[in-house]
A and B are shown apart, each in its own frame.
Chain A
Amino acid sequence: DSGVTQTPKHLITATGQRVTLRCSPRSGDLSVYWYQQSLDQGLQFLIQYYNGEERAKGNILERFSAQQFPDLHSELNLSSLELGDSALYFCASSGTTGSTGELFFGEGSRLTVL
Protein backbone atom coordinates (compact mmCIF):
# COMPACT_ATOMS: atom_id res chain seq x y z
CA ASP A 1 0.00 0.00 0.00
CA SER A 2 1.60 3.26 -1.18
CA GLY A 3 -0.54 5.47 1.05
CA VAL A 4 -1.95 7.34 -1.97
CA THR A 5 -5.70 6.98 -2.37
CA GLN A 6 -7.57 7.53 -5.60
CA THR A 7 -11.31 7.51 -6.21
CA PRO A 8 -13.21 6.28 -8.07
CA LYS A 9 -11.38 3.14 -9.17
CA HIS A 10 -13.58 2.76 -12.24
CA LEU A 11 -15.73 5.23 -14.10
CA ILE A 12 -17.84 4.76 -17.22
CA THR A 13 -19.36 7.79 -18.86
CA ALA A 14 -20.49 9.13 -22.21
CA THR A 15 -18.85 11.50 -24.67
CA GLY A 16 -19.38 15.15 -23.84
CA GLN A 17 -19.70 14.53 -20.12
CA ARG A 18 -17.55 15.82 -17.27
CA VAL A 19 -15.92 13.79 -14.50
CA THR A 20 -13.83 14.51 -11.43
CA LEU A 21 -11.06 12.23 -10.18
CA ARG A 22 -9.90 12.56 -6.62
CA CYS A 23 -6.53 11.90 -5.01
CA SER A 24 -5.34 11.93 -1.41
CA PRO A 25 -1.54 11.96 -1.17
CA ARG A 26 0.56 10.16 1.40
CA SER A 27 0.44 11.74 4.79
CA GLY A 28 2.89 14.64 4.87
CA ASP A 29 3.55 14.72 1.12
CA LEU A 30 3.17 18.20 -0.34
CA SER A 31 3.57 17.40 -4.01
CA VAL A 32 0.94 15.75 -6.20
CA TYR A 33 1.43 14.62 -9.78
CA TRP A 34 -1.16 13.46 -12.30
CA TYR A 35 -0.30 11.01 -15.07
CA GLN A 36 -2.35 9.48 -17.87
CA GLN A 37 -1.59 5.93 -18.95
CA SER A 38 -2.83 4.62 -22.27
CA LEU A 39 -1.69 1.80 -24.52
CA ASP A 40 -0.62 4.04 -27.37
CA GLN A 41 0.89 6.95 -25.40
CA GLY A 42 2.41 5.19 -22.41
CA LEU A 43 2.65 7.14 -19.16
CA GLN A 44 2.17 10.85 -19.85
CA PHE A 45 2.73 13.58 -17.28
CA LEU A 46 -0.22 15.94 -16.99
CA ILE A 47 0.35 18.36 -14.13
CA GLN A 48 2.06 18.82 -10.76
CA TYR A 49 0.96 20.73 -7.68
CA TYR A 50 3.04 21.60 -4.66
CA ASN A 51 1.38 22.76 -1.46
CA GLY A 52 -1.62 24.09 -3.31
CA GLU A 53 0.21 25.80 -6.15
CA GLU A 54 0.63 24.60 -9.71
CA ARG A 55 4.33 23.86 -10.31
CA ALA A 56 4.59 22.17 -13.67
CA LYS A 57 2.41 21.43 -16.63
CA GLY A 58 2.84 18.64 -19.11
CA ASN A 59 0.67 17.35 -21.90
CA ILE A 60 -2.58 18.40 -20.30
CA LEU A 61 -5.45 19.29 -22.61
CA GLU A 62 -7.33 22.56 -22.17
CA ARG A 63 -10.46 20.49 -21.43
CA PHE A 64 -8.68 19.16 -18.35
CA SER A 65 -7.97 21.07 -15.17
CA ALA A 66 -6.75 20.28 -11.72
CA GLN A 67 -6.36 21.81 -8.30
CA GLN A 68 -4.88 21.01 -4.93
CA PHE A 69 -6.83 21.97 -1.85
CA PRO A 70 -5.59 23.25 1.54
CA ASP A 71 -5.81 19.74 2.99
CA LEU A 72 -3.47 18.70 0.11
CA HIS A 73 -5.91 16.43 -1.67
CA SER A 74 -6.15 17.01 -5.39
CA GLU A 75 -8.82 16.74 -8.03
CA LEU A 76 -8.48 16.29 -11.77
CA ASN A 77 -11.44 17.54 -13.78
CA LEU A 78 -12.00 16.18 -17.26
CA SER A 79 -14.68 17.86 -19.38
CA SER A 80 -16.19 17.50 -22.85
CA LEU A 81 -14.99 13.95 -22.78
CA GLU A 82 -13.99 12.20 -25.97
CA LEU A 83 -13.48 8.53 -26.72
CA GLY A 84 -9.73 9.09 -26.75
CA ASP A 85 -9.78 10.21 -23.13
CA SER A 86 -10.38 6.63 -22.07
CA ALA A 87 -7.31 5.74 -20.03
CA LEU A 88 -5.94 4.99 -16.61
CA TYR A 89 -5.30 8.16 -14.63
CA PHE A 90 -2.71 7.97 -11.88
CA CYS A 91 -2.00 10.30 -9.04
CA ALA A 92 1.39 10.21 -7.34
CA SER A 93 2.87 12.09 -4.43
CA SER A 94 6.30 12.94 -3.12
CA GLY A 95 7.76 14.76 -0.16
CA THR A 96 9.05 18.05 -1.52
CA THR A 97 9.41 19.54 -4.94
CA GLY A 98 13.18 19.60 -4.55
CA SER A 99 13.40 16.01 -3.44
CA THR A 100 15.50 13.50 -5.35
CA GLY A 101 13.17 10.81 -4.15
CA GLU A 102 10.74 8.51 -5.82
CA LEU A 103 7.06 9.02 -6.48
CA PHE A 104 4.38 7.05 -4.67
CA PHE A 105 1.53 6.09 -6.96
CA GLY A 106 -2.11 5.42 -6.25
CA GLU A 107 -3.86 2.49 -7.87
CA GLY A 108 -5.38 4.66 -10.54
CA SER A 109 -8.81 5.60 -11.82
CA ARG A 110 -9.84 3.77 -14.96
CA LEU A 111 -11.98 6.01 -17.16
CA THR A 112 -14.02 4.55 -19.97
CA VAL A 113 -15.76 6.98 -22.32
CA LEU A 114 -18.49 5.42 -24.48
Chain B
Amino acid sequence: AQSVAQPEDQVNVAEGNPLTVKCTYSVSGNPYLFWYVQYPNRGLQFLLKYITGDNLVKGSYGFEAEFNKSQTSFHLKKPSALVSDSALYFCAVRDGSYIPTFGRGTSLIVHP
Protein backbone atom coordinates (compact mmCIF):
# COMPACT_ATOMS: atom_id res chain seq x y z
CA ALA B 1 0.00 0.00 0.00
CA GLN B 2 1.12 3.53 -0.64
CA SER B 3 0.62 6.53 1.60
CA VAL B 4 1.51 10.18 1.90
CA ALA B 5 1.88 12.33 5.00
CA GLN B 6 1.79 16.08 5.04
CA PRO B 7 2.58 16.79 8.67
CA GLU B 8 1.53 20.44 8.67
CA ASP B 9 -2.07 21.48 8.17
CA GLN B 10 -0.95 25.06 7.69
CA VAL B 11 2.26 26.88 6.88
CA ASN B 12 2.62 30.62 7.40
CA VAL B 13 5.37 32.62 5.78
CA ALA B 14 6.06 36.26 5.08
CA GLU B 15 6.20 37.48 1.51
CA GLY B 16 9.75 37.39 0.19
CA ASN B 17 10.85 34.67 2.59
CA PRO B 18 11.64 31.12 1.52
CA LEU B 19 8.92 28.54 2.00
CA THR B 20 8.90 24.78 2.56
CA VAL B 21 5.89 22.48 2.52
CA LYS B 22 6.74 19.04 3.83
CA CYS B 23 5.79 15.65 2.44
CA THR B 24 6.85 12.13 3.34
CA TYR B 25 5.72 9.01 1.56
CA SER B 26 5.57 5.26 1.79
CA VAL B 27 5.48 3.06 -1.30
CA SER B 28 6.77 -0.29 -2.44
CA GLY B 29 9.07 0.00 -5.38
CA ASN B 30 10.20 3.19 -7.04
CA PRO B 31 8.02 6.18 -6.21
CA TYR B 32 6.49 8.60 -8.66
CA LEU B 33 5.96 11.81 -6.70
CA PHE B 34 3.84 14.84 -7.51
CA TRP B 35 2.87 18.21 -6.11
CA TYR B 36 -0.42 19.89 -6.95
CA VAL B 37 -1.89 23.24 -5.94
CA GLN B 38 -5.55 24.05 -5.38
CA TYR B 39 -6.83 27.62 -5.33
CA PRO B 40 -10.22 28.34 -3.73
CA ASN B 41 -13.15 26.87 -5.66
CA ARG B 42 -10.84 25.45 -8.31
CA GLY B 43 -9.54 22.03 -9.29
CA LEU B 44 -6.06 20.77 -8.53
CA GLN B 45 -3.29 21.99 -10.81
CA PHE B 46 -0.09 20.08 -11.43
CA LEU B 47 3.09 21.81 -10.20
CA LEU B 48 5.91 19.31 -10.63
CA LYS B 49 6.86 15.65 -10.52
CA TYR B 50 9.74 13.36 -9.73
CA ILE B 51 10.05 10.15 -11.70
CA THR B 52 13.76 9.50 -11.85
CA GLY B 53 17.03 11.37 -12.24
CA ASP B 54 18.06 14.59 -10.53
CA ASN B 55 16.81 14.79 -6.95
CA LEU B 56 15.98 18.49 -7.34
CA VAL B 57 12.98 18.99 -9.55
CA LYS B 58 11.88 22.36 -10.88
CA GLY B 59 8.28 23.14 -11.65
CA SER B 60 5.77 25.85 -12.37
CA TYR B 61 5.64 29.32 -10.76
CA GLY B 62 9.19 29.07 -9.37
CA PHE B 63 8.50 26.04 -7.20
CA GLU B 64 10.94 23.19 -6.78
CA ALA B 65 11.01 19.99 -4.77
CA GLU B 66 13.77 17.85 -3.39
CA PHE B 67 13.52 14.08 -3.46
CA ASN B 68 15.30 12.37 -0.58
CA LYS B 69 15.19 8.61 -0.85
CA SER B 70 16.75 7.83 2.52
CA GLN B 71 14.27 10.06 4.33
CA THR B 72 11.39 9.16 1.99
CA SER B 73 10.61 12.82 1.64
CA PHE B 74 9.62 15.13 -1.20
CA HIS B 75 9.46 18.64 0.24
CA LEU B 76 8.16 21.52 -1.84
CA LYS B 77 10.21 24.71 -1.78
CA LYS B 78 10.31 28.21 -3.17
CA PRO B 79 13.12 30.71 -2.55
CA SER B 80 10.86 33.78 -2.27
CA ALA B 81 7.16 33.47 -1.45
CA LEU B 82 4.46 35.62 -3.03
CA VAL B 83 1.06 36.47 -1.55
CA SER B 84 -0.44 34.88 -4.66
CA ASP B 85 1.15 31.55 -3.66
CA SER B 86 -1.42 31.27 -0.85
CA ALA B 87 -3.38 28.10 -1.62
CA LEU B 88 -3.81 24.47 -0.66
CA TYR B 89 -0.91 22.20 -1.65
CA PHE B 90 -1.17 18.45 -2.14
CA CYS B 91 1.59 15.91 -2.34
CA ALA B 92 0.83 12.65 -4.16
CA VAL B 93 2.61 9.34 -4.67
CA ARG B 94 2.03 6.41 -6.93
CA ASP B 95 3.71 3.14 -7.69
CA GLY B 96 2.94 0.61 -10.38
CA SER B 97 -0.77 0.74 -9.58
CA TYR B 98 -0.99 4.03 -11.52
CA ILE B 99 -3.48 5.42 -9.00
CA PRO B 100 -1.98 8.32 -7.08
CA THR B 101 -2.62 8.62 -3.37
CA PHE B 102 -2.90 12.18 -2.13
CA GLY B 103 -1.94 13.69 1.17
CA ARG B 104 -4.50 15.64 3.17
CA GLY B 105 -3.12 18.92 1.94
CA THR B 106 -1.26 21.84 3.51
CA SER B 107 -2.70 25.32 3.52
CA LEU B 108 0.00 27.84 2.66
CA ILE B 109 -0.62 31.39 3.84
CA VAL B 110 1.77 34.06 2.66
CA HIS B 111 1.49 37.30 4.62
CA PRO B 112 2.22 40.65 2.95
> Residue of B at shortest CB range from A42?
B104
Q: Work out how many contacts link A and B, with CB atoms closer than 8 A.
A: 53
How far is A101 from B46 in the complex, measured between Cα atoms in Å?
10
Query: Given that A42-B102, A45-B101, A56-B97 are contacting pairs, would A90 and B51 also be in contact in the complex, using a CB cutoff of 8 Å?
Result: no
> Residue of B at shortest CB range from A43?
B102
> Residue of B at shortest CB range from A90?
B43
Contact of A106 among B34, B43, B98, B101 (CB under 8 A): B43
List residues of chain A with CB within 8 A of the CB of B97.
Answer: 56
> Residue of A at shortest CB range from B48?
A102
List residues of chain B with CB within 8 A of the CB of A102.
Answer: 34, 36, 46, 49
How far is A43 from B45 in the complex, measured between Cα atoms in Å?
14
Contact of B46 among A43, A90, A103 (CB under 8 A): A103
Is B43 in contact with A105, judged by CB distance below 8 angstroms? Answer: yes
Is A58 in contact with B43, judged by CB distance below 8 angstroms? Answer: no
How far is A35 from B46 in the complex, measured between Cα atoms in Å?
15
A97 at the A/B interface (Cβ < 8 Å)? yes
The distance from the CB of B78 to the nearest CB of chain A, in whole angstroms, is 19
Is A103 in contact with B103, judged by CB distance below 8 angstroms? Answer: no
Instruction: Tell me which residues from 17 to 36 in chain B have a Cβ below 8 Å from any Cβ of chain A.
Output: 32, 34, 36
Query: Given that A56-B97, A100-B32, A100-B51 are contacting pairs, would A107 and B102 also be in contact in the complex, using a CB cutoff of 8 Å?
Result: no
* 5 closest cross-chain pairs (CB), A and B: A105-B43, A102-B46, A42-B104, A43-B102, A105-B44
A residues sitting closer than 8 Å to B (CB atoms) are: 2, 4, 33, 35, 42-43, 45, 48, 55-56, 58, 90, 92, 97-108
Having A35-B102, A55-B98, A92-B43, one finds 16 other A-B pairs with CB under 8 Å, namely A2-B45, A42-B105, A43-B105, A48-B98, A48-B99, A56-B99, A58-B99, A100-B49, A102-B36, A102-B49, A103-B46, A105-B36, A107-B41, A107-B42, A107-B43, A108-B42
